[in-house]
Amino acid sequence: DSGVTQTPKHLITATGQRVTLRCSPRSGDLSVYWYQQSLDQGLQFLIQYYNGEERAKGNILERFSAQQFPDLHSELNLSSLELGDSALYFCASSVDLAGEYNEQFFGPGTRLTVL
Amino acid sequence: GESVGLHLPTLSVQEGDNSIINCAYSNSASDYFIWYKQESGKGPQFIIDIRSNMDKRQGQRVTVLLNKTVKHLSLQIAATQPGDSAVYFCAENIRGYSTLTFGKGTMLLVSP
């Protein structure tokens, strides 16, 4: 158990809908990362938040957004869903001390299926 | 469990064999590399890392080799066990950045 929790574990929805995925980082970790894992693309970095502020952005679509709350949990919002958004979505957290890489601990993921 | 990827290269070995999983990384500026293991239905889990000032690092039953000249990374697993069956990813990081870039992954299947 990494200490990172994600809910829900599975989510099934229809095209055009909007969903929210939730992540709670390990105790003491200030950074949260979101990744998308699909069959075709592997693990793709989407976005990173550090202590409530956006720090880095990867291949995140404009239909997707995220935020990190004062208690450090994070939510990833996916809107106008398309079939191609079906994937595993992982959250990871790290201490993220400045100037160096810190190990990222991954949650168990949320499986999103868009029908 | 859930399938992580149906389009991954697959390495099939017998229990007790040594396994070698390879990875070609993309960015010559990357200076820190990590191998992750992902079991079915779970998130990636750290296995071993190596910095660019090294060419070899050993852990428990695992060894990572780095060849910066050809931008190649390998993971060697000694005496492979059925519990080693998983998808293995390499990831690269550039100093000063907190983000990772993952490779495509290799599925390791270990037969008893």
CA distance B97 to chain A (A): 7
C-alpha dist (Å) from residue A110 to A76, A86, A88, A91? 11, 10, 6, 9
pLDDT digits (tens, 9 = 90+) for B65-112: 999 999 999 999 999 999 999 999 999 998 878 788 999 899 999 999
- Give the one of A40, A42, A88 whose C-beta lies nearest to B102's C-beta: A42
pLDDT digits (tens, 9 = 90+) for A94-103: 987 665 677 8
CA distance A105 to chain B (A): 7
Mean of pLDDT over chain B = 90
pLDDT digits (tens, 9 = 90+) for A3-59: 999 999 999 999 999 999 999 999 999 999 999 998 776 899 999 999 999 999 998
Altogether, the residues listed in chain A come to a count of 115
pLDDT digits (tens, 9 = 90+) for B25-46: 988 899 999 999 999 889 999 9
- Residue A89's nearest CA partner among A106, A70, A110, A73 is A110
Residue B5: the pLDDT is 45
> Cα angle at B27 between B26 and B30, to 5 degrees?
125
**Interface membership of A25 toward B (CB under 8 Å):** no
Is B102's CB within 8 Å of A92's CB?
no
pLDDT digits (tens, 9 = 90+) for A75-85: 999 999 999 99
Give A24's contacts (C-beta < 8 A, 6+ positions apart).
A4, A5, A6, A72, A73
- Give the one of A42, A55, A90 whose C-beta lies nearest to B43's C-beta: A90
Altogether, the residues listed in chain B come to a count of 112
Say whether pLDDT at B6 is over 80.
Answer: no
**Tokens found for residue A59:** 């291949």
Rounded CA gap, A41 and A108, in Å? 19
CB-defined contacts A:B, below 8 A: 66
Is A88's CB within 8 Å of B105's CB?
no
Q: Which chain A residues contact residue B49 at CB under 8 A?
A: 103
